[in-house]
């Protein structure tokens, strides 16, 4: 008699197990690889184990990365290789197993990003300031000669640096049809010169874009890696400037330290899905400085651009908004007659970045409500003009 409860328990377990093999949503899926809690980069082997049904009863396993379908495997091993890229970002891996009888099961693995600066108080605001007098940069300002106003309220500076502050840059080069031939060569030569002149701790990523990304290097400080493959790049296609600006701003947010976005383009967007207003909003949340090497100089009032998605007035508004967006980040517009001067322009931007002051302060009225804070930096030294971002969003 004393053995009945044990037998009943075994019978119940047996029934439960056989039921799991038959019913829907009862496949057990678990990740074999990659391990949990590890940041993921580059090519990664993703493998899952499926239990709860005989192997030949499993119809397929579908893999999703960051919400997007990437591959499907019909028989074991349920394993794929996938390139997750070099960005320091969290990834969401999902596997969905389906049995021939309709049974399903899924597993989720979320990998973390490396958070180097987690200890840094996010409320610290950093301003990159360019100081000039009579068109020449001023490199001897003292901390007590600068006043930072946050929504008009003076702030106490907690950091003050100048000179070789490391930076991370994305160089976005328009390689659409209008850049075909020598113009693209001159532009990429200019970008090469920029890369060659980077300091030891600087990092950059080089992107050539048209209506799609044509070439992209990883973030690196090695010039050879940055410029590998540039020679084979060919211009062609329409221009999706807004989309690539938006993407680059997000990529920079994942990086550390001073972030710079250098754009070489005439600025005319004809095929982005995003509008410049949407880019402006992304830029206002970003801490990146945008420098625009404007091909062809400021557009003539008589120049009218049309595209399938925008009329002449809309194009003019987009261009004007791009100008304002660039200036609001604290960057500037460098007008180029043609790409021949791209090398000089890149060099000028780099020189300006080297001479920037980096000011840090904790906002005295940090609300954390996503509101916009207007920022102004004043110099007590006569005749000195300062340029920095227009403000920040208090997220």
Partner 1 sequence: MTHHTAATRPAMTLLATTLLATTLLATAALAATPIETAPVAPARPHGASTIELTMREAALLVGGEDGGSVPMALLVLSGAALEPGDAPASGSSAAAASTLVAQVEVDGRRLRELVSAAADGRYGEPPRLDLFVYALRDDLEVVDAVTLSTPLDTFADAAAPPGLRLLVPLAVSSQPVNVRALLRVEESFGLRSDRFEPRASPAPLLVGPSWPVVYPEDRRPSLAPPWSLDGDLPTSRAVAVAGSSFIVDTDSGTGDSFLRLEALGTAPHRLEPRRDAEGRTHVDLPFELEPGLWRLRLVDREGNTEEAAAGPALELAVVEPETTVTDWRDAIRSDAEPRAIIPSAPPVADSLRRREQRELMVALYRAQREAFATLVSDGFAPATAAWLKHERQAYEQHGGDALEPIAAAQTAAFRELAVHAGRDGRPDAMLPALLLVAATGRAHLAARQHLLARLALERAATLSELWVAEGGAERAEAGRLLGVLALRPLRHGAAGIAADLLRRALLLAPDDPALRLVLGALEARDQRFDTALEHFDDLLASHPDHPEAQLRRGLVARRLGDTELAREALEAASAAVASAISESERGRADWVGALAAQELVRLELEAGRPRDAATRARAALTRHPEDPSLRVALAWALEAAGDVAAARSVLAGLRPAPGLTARGQIVELPVQPLAAERRRLLAAASARRAVLGECLDQLPQSSEPPTWTLEGRPSDITGSPR
Q: Are 273 and 246 in contact (CB under 8 A)?
A: no
Q: Which of 48, 99, 138, 179 binds partner 1 (CB under 8 A)?
A: 179
Residue with tokens 């329409």, as numbered in its chain:
238
Does residue 306 interact with partner 1 by CB under 8 A? yes
Q: Are 320 and 333 in contact (CB under 8 A)?
A: no
Binding mask 210-229 for partner 1 (x = CB under 8 A): xxxxxxx-------------
Residue nearer to partner 1 on the CB measure, 163 or 368: 368
Q: Residues with Cβ < 8 Å from 237, sequence gap 6 or more?
A: 176, 177, 210, 211, 212, 214
CA atoms within 13 Å, Cβ hemisphere of 147: 9
In the region spanning residues 68 to 87, those forming contacts with partner 1, defined by CB under 8 A, are 68-70, 84-85, 87
Q: How far is the CB of 135 from partner 1 (least distance, A)?
A: 31
Q: How far is the CB of 296 from partner 1 (least distance, A)?
A: 9
Residue nearer to partner 1 on the CB measure, 61 or 179: 179
Q: Residues with Cβ < 8 Å from 267, sequence gap 6 or more?
A: 241, 292, 294, 295, 299, 319, 322
Piece in contact with partner 1 (CB under 8 A), picked from 13-21, 131-139, 268-276, 348-356: 268-276
Q: How far is the CB of 278 from partner 1 (least distance, A)?
A: 6
Nearest alpha carbon to residue 194 among 97, 263, 116? 263
Does residue 294 interact with partner 1 by CB under 8 A? no
Q: How far is the CB of 303 from partner 1 (least distance, A)?
A: 10
Q: How far is the CB of 355 from partner 1 (least distance, A)?
A: 31
Q: How far is the CB of 87 from partner 1 (least distance, A)?
A: 4
Full DSSP string of 223-270: HHHHHTTGGG----S---HHHHHHHHHHHHHTS-SEEEEEEEE----S
Does residue 37 interact with partner 1 by CB under 8 A? no
Residue nearer to partner 1 on the CB measure, 270 or 290: 270
Q: Are 210 and 236 in contact (CB under 8 A)?
A: yes
At 195, is the secondary structure helix, strand, or coil? helix
At 206, is the secondary structure helix, strand, or coil? strand
Residue nearer to partner 1 on the CB measure, 306 or 372: 306
Nearest alpha carbon to residue 189 among 244, 234, 230? 230
At 79, is the secondary structure helix, strand, or coil? strand
Q: Which of 9, 32, 92, 201 binds partner 1 (CB under 8 A)?
A: 92
Residues that bind partner 1 (CB under 8 A): 65-70, 84-85, 87, 89-92, 177-183, 210-216, 237-238, 240, 243, 246-247, 250-251, 253-254, 270-274, 278, 282, 306-309, 311
């Amino acid at each position: 008699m004393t053995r009945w409860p044990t037998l009943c328990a075994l019978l119940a377990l047996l029934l439960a197990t056989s039921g799991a093999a038959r019913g829907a949503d009862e496949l057990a899926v678990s990740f074999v690889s990659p391990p949990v809690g590890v940041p993921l980069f580059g090519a990664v082997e993703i493998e899952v184990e499926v239990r709860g049904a005989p192997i030949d009863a499993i119809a397929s396993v579908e893999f999703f990365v960051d919400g997007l379908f990437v591959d499907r495997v019909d028989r074991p091993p349920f394993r794929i290789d996938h390139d997750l890229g070099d960005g320091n970002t969290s990834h969401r891996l999902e596997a969905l197993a389906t049995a021939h009888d309709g049974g399903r099961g899924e597993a989720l693995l979320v990998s973390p990003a490396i958070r180097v600066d987690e200890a840094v108080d996010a409320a610290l605001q950093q301003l990159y300031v360019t100081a000039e007098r009579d068109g020449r940069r001023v490199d001897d300002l003292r901390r007590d000669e600068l006043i930072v106003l946050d929504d008009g309220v003076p702030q106490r500076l907690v950091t003050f640096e100048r000179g070789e502050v490391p930076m991370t840059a994305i160089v976005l080069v328009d390689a659409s049809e209008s850049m075909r031939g020598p113009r693209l060569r001159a532009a990429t030569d200019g970008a090469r010169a920029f890369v060659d002149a980077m300091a030891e701790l600087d990092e950059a990523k080089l992107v050539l874009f048209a209506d799609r990304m044509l070439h992209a290097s990883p973030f690196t400080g090695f010039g050879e890696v940055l410029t590998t493959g540039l020679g084979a790049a060919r211009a062609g296609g329409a221009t999706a400037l807004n989309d690539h600006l938006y993407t680059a701003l997000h990529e920079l947010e994942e990086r550390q330290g001073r972030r710079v976005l250098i754009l070489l383009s005439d600025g005319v967007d004809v095929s982005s899905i995003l509008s410049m207003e949407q880019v402006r909003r992304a830029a206002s949340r970003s801490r990146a400085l945008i420098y625009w090497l404007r091909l062809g100089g400021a557009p003539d009032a008589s120049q009218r651009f049309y595209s399938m998605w925008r009329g002449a007035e809309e194009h003019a508004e987009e261009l004007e908004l791009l100008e304002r967006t660039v200036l609001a980040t604290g960057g500037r517009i460098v007008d180029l007659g043609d790409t021949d001067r791209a090398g000089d322009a890149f060099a000028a931007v780099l020189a300006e970045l080297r001479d920037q002051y980096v000011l840090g302060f904790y906002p005295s009225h940090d609300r954390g409500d996503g509101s916009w804070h207007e920022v102004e930096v004043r110099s007590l030294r006569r005749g000195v003009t300062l340029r920095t971002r227009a403000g920040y969003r208090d997220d």
